[in-house]
Structure 1
Amino acid sequence: MANTRWSFLFIFFVVLINLQLGKVLATFPTDPLVQQLKDRVVELPGQTFNVSFAHYSGYVTVNEKSGRALFYWFIEAVEDPDSKPLVLWSNGGPGCSSIAYGEAEEIGPFHIKPDGTTLYLNPYSWNQVANVLFVDSPVGVGFSYSNTSSDLLTNGDKRTAKDSLAFLLNWFERFPQYKGRDLYLTGESYAGHYIPQLSQAIVRYNLGAKEKGINLKGYMVGNALTDDYHDHLGVFQFLWSSGMISDQTFKLLNLLCDFQSFIHSSNSCDKILDVADEELGNVDPYSIFTPTCSATISQSNQLLKRRNKVGHIGQKYDPCTEAHSIVYFNLPEVQQALHVDPNHAPAHWDTCSEKIYSSWKDSPKTVLDVYRELIHAGLRIWVFSGDTDAVIPVTSTRYSIDALKLPTVRPWRAWYDDGEVGGWTQEYAGLTFVSVRGAGHEVPLHKPKLALTLIKSFLSGSSMPSLKLVSDS
């Protein structure tokens, strides 16, 4: 009887303590540990495998007045996350989701099977070597939102950089254990604007910061929109030299689209782009040697004009991968697992937002001036390029890099992975260029193993691997 009484009293005090603890936690809702626990993802629908790493998703407010909030998905390293750097990944568009592409197709661990409801583990995920942070930016992309509807029609480069800086500062408050951690920014396509501009914003913020600033070490971008003139020049030359457009169209493209913006081009440029599009045929311009998705041929034929928007390509080789993401991220149980607020969830989640793309406000014709500033600031800067992409091809990237007129530190050479040529590389004073053999616009999708080799070399600050000769002995 006495034992029963003491057991009852023990349970009573445990319940009382928990109730009081709950009141304390409710009183301090901004406590980082509480916020992290709220954002912790326990398990995903369709996940048939266990993982040893923690991951989190949710919203970070970047502007209180207008109610702008960016959606993130943070995935810690597989092993010893405390010793690994932090890598932020951004997709482009403008208007495309980093969750849809970066996480679910490219460098994230959770990829989607063709049924749209089942996941499989990506063995070449970048969280093998880093803690990876995916952000849907700007507002209106993916699950990111604003309480001010006009914000969705007034996005542009400047506000995106400002909001992304605010996101990082606020995210570090939620995850203070990552304050001071080595940070690297990465991305592709229109992130060729986002990533250098955010890097510039961080460097300038650090100069005026009263406390220790963000520990940005460098950035890396792939198949990146960089300079409209050189990017156009390279696109047209790639299409012509690959035998996809006629001599006449090649000449007219160079004449009518000279110095045109990739976001807002002229009517005459649009018309000759339509001609080039017709000559190109039913080829996926984002990966010219792989099949197209039969369900999206009509869409693929319109993508040349929107060459900075991520395309319809998939893994091994499923060109309809984008369709799998649309099915999966529209599932209510998936949104619930990822802590999507039902009051702010889109009526229909999509990989890219045409509204964001078509209403984009400011897009400078070049970011080469930003490169010059950041090279001078001493950041580690790498630029990579899949060499079967006709959207922002290797020729465009090389023309843009040449325009910087940087001295060569290590000349052009092949780099290797497991004894095979993985691509080619050249090292300049302040910048390293790497091409990835056989990869399209989304390098980690087409060549995931090579992409993992790439990020390992970038993070370590070492050159891309050379061919190691094995002796007969």
Structure 2
Amino acid sequence: MKIALQLSVHFSLLVFVSCYGSNGYDPLENALRFQRSKGSVLNHVSSEDHSAEYSNSKVYMGPQDGLKEVDKISSLPGQPAGTDFDQYSGYVTVDPNHGRALFYYLAESPVNSSTNPLVLWLNGGPGCSSFGNGAMMELGPFRVNADNRTLSRNKYAWNNIANVLFLESPAGVGFSYSNTSSDYETGDIQTAKDSYTFLINWLERFPEYKTRDFYITGESYAGHYVPQLAQLILQNNKITNQTVINLKGIAIGNAYVDHETGKTGMFDYFWTHAIISDEIHEGIISNCNFSDGANITDACYEYQYQAYAAKSNIFFYDIYAPLCSPSIKPPISGFDPCSDNYILGYLNTPDVQQSLHAKPVQWESCSGLVGAYWKDMPLTVLPVIQDLMASGISVWIYSGDTDGRVSVTTTRYAINKLQTSVKVPWYPWMHQGEVGGYVVGYENLTFVTIRGAGHFVPSYQPGRALAFFTSFLEGKLPTNH
């Protein structure tokens, strides 16, 4: 078990790196390693098991009168002149006995905000911030400039066509908190419950959205969060005497949905993209069985260790991207690899936290503590996705094709396990006269790739990401001309 110990130590050291975009930091692998180091078993959890867990709990409803007005942001420090949309942020209590509250940020649309749909965005990790990563680095209305103090407008922001709600979940992530420290030992089931409780209470605070079309989107470990929350919403819509949430669809990007294909797809992607040698790849194929319940041998650990070592100093969330370096000037166009540093500086500025109505805290991009104490992490959520496919809502999976962490290869392997039939064969879709990516329409499922995008799709290809998102909301496959 020497190699297993080496890997565990290697990844446990990385837990103290807080920035999701930092080279070498992999919150998903950290969580998996800590599960194994504790002797935990990553069991398959069926949709029936989740339903049983959900049905046993009552949903807390708290008073919301007057809180919307309190949450309105007058102005964010350093925001550009001419900002033409309303912003709100604050806390929604999900457990008053524990003092557990989740932080949100809402960016309404500059145009047609009263009729545009409501879209919830969730980042993954587990333990990573939907506001700092999702809103400030990816699809939100602003980017943080290199001075850590001022903002610039993101012309490809998703709130151009939807009202976008960013939720920091679970408690312990970003600005979300609990007054009960044991709440930071959480997992998939509690995260879904709290997110649902948040939504029911938030809709009381913002009642104009109660009947609005509602979509859930997210990436990475939100491949767990999004389907599980969607399933809980659909289940509770049938039995609740509270608000019925008008869920129309979900979209998950570079999504971790299945452990077996997550491993095989990652190492196959490494090999086909000249990151690891033939010998290492063959060693993994010959010695590793990543299927449910299989024993991981020392030889398998050894070859995995060699693969990570061979990867060396690249940012495997976007294998062709430059690394952040003080000697490199920010790019004139494209994504600045030092963006996570700017965000960290900005969100830890006291006047910024005050303007967001946030509790004073040392904000982090990802919480190593939350990831380290994750309790329940099913090996696959494909049965949940199958339930959603059968429910009649729109189910889209998208993939940036330069991501090595949850690669397009991984996603294609996972979709194959769903065993759904092809309705519209694979074809290139176009954006501004170029191939934006590729798309295939399955029975009750759409799969879209975004060409030239890494793990954080809207960061690396914002124009193509907005074009994909527009198609998703319209319920139409991306155009081939």
Q: Give TM-score, length-normalised by structure 1.
A: 0.84
Shift of 1:272: 3.5
Q: Structure 1: how far apart are the matches of 2:332 and 2:256?
A: 21
Matched, 1:180 2:211: yes
Matched, 1:55 2:87: yes
Q: Secondary structure at the match of 2:424?
A: strand
Matched, 1:321 2:353: no
Q: Structure 1: how far apart are the matches of 2:296 and 2:137?
A: 30
Is the alpha carbon distance of 1:369 and 1:43 closer, same or farther for their aligned partners in structure 2, counting shifts above 3 Å? same
Matched, 1:438 2:452: yes
Q: Secondary structure at the match of 1:411?
A: strand
Is the alpha carbon distance of 1:216 and 1:268 closer, same or farther for their aligned partners in structure 2, counting shifts above 3 Å? farther
Corresponding residue for residue 331 of structure 1: 349
Matched, 1:341 2:372: no
Q: Structure 1: how far apart are the matches of 2:197 and 2:464?
A: 33
Partner of residue 272 from structure 1, selected from 296, 303, 309 = 303
Give the partner amino acid of 2:99: G
Corresponding residue for residue 120 of structure 1: 152
Corresponding residue for residue 176 of structure 2: 144
Q: Structure 2: how far apart are the matches of 1:72 and 1:186?
A: 15
Q: 1:315 touches 1:321 (CA, 8 Å); kept in 2?
A: no
Equivalent positions of 1:4-83 (< 5 A) are 30=63, 32=65, 34-83=66-115
- RMSD of the TM alignment (CA)? 2.1
Corresponding residue for residue 395 of structure 1: 409
Q: 2:122 touches 2:226 (CA, 8 Å); kept in 1?
A: yes
Shift of 1:295: 7.0
Q: List alignment gaps of at least 5 residues for structure 1.
A: 1-28, 297-312, 468-473
Partner of residue 204 from structure 1, selected from 212, 224, 235 = 235
Equivalent positions of 1:68-467 (< 5 A) are 68-152=100-184, 154-211=185-242, 213-255=244-286, 257-259=288-290, 271-294=302-325, 316-342=334-360, 346=361, 348-467=362-481
Q: Structure 1: how far apart are the matches of 2:317 and 2:332?
A: 11
Give the partner amino acid of 1:67: G
1:266-321 C-alpha deviation (Å, 9 max, x unpaired):
8765543332121112111011111112379xxxxxxxxxxxxxxxx998232111
Q: 1:260 touches 1:266 (CA, 8 Å); kept in 2?
A: no
Q: Structure 1: how far apart are the matches of 2:285 and 2:70?
A: 54
Q: Structure 1: how far apart are the matches of 2:418 and 2:252?
A: 16
Q: List alignment gaps of at least 5 residues for structure 2.
A: 1-61
Shift of 1:253: 3.0
Is the alpha carbon distance of 1:120 and 1:257 closer, same or farther for their aligned partners in structure 2, counting shifts above 3 Å? farther
Q: Structure 1: how far apart are the matches of 2:220 and 2:106?
A: 21
1:430-461 C-alpha deviation (Å, 9 max, x unpaired):
00000010100011000000010011000010
1:383-405 C-alpha deviation (Å, 9 max, x unpaired):
00000010000000001111111
Shift of 1:251: 2.8
1:68-91 C-alpha deviation (Å, 9 max, x unpaired):
110000111110211100000010
Give the partner amino acid of 2:382: L
Give the partner amino acid of 2:304: L
Q: 1:314 touches 1:321 (CA, 8 Å); kept in 2?
A: no
Q: Structure 1: how far apart are the matches of 2:291 and 2:374?
A: 16
Aligned residues: 415
Give the partner amino acid of 2:137: E
Shift of 1:93: 0.3
Q: 2:119 touches 2:163 (CA, 8 Å); kept in 1?
A: yes
- Higher alpha-carbon Rg: 1
Q: Secondary structure at the match of 1:71?
A: strand
Shift of 1:50: 2.2
Q: 1:236 touches 1:254 (CA, 8 Å); kept in 2?
A: no
User: With CA pairs under 8 Å and 6+ residues apart, which has the higher RCO, 1 or 2?
Assistant: 2
Give the partner amino acid of 1:370: V
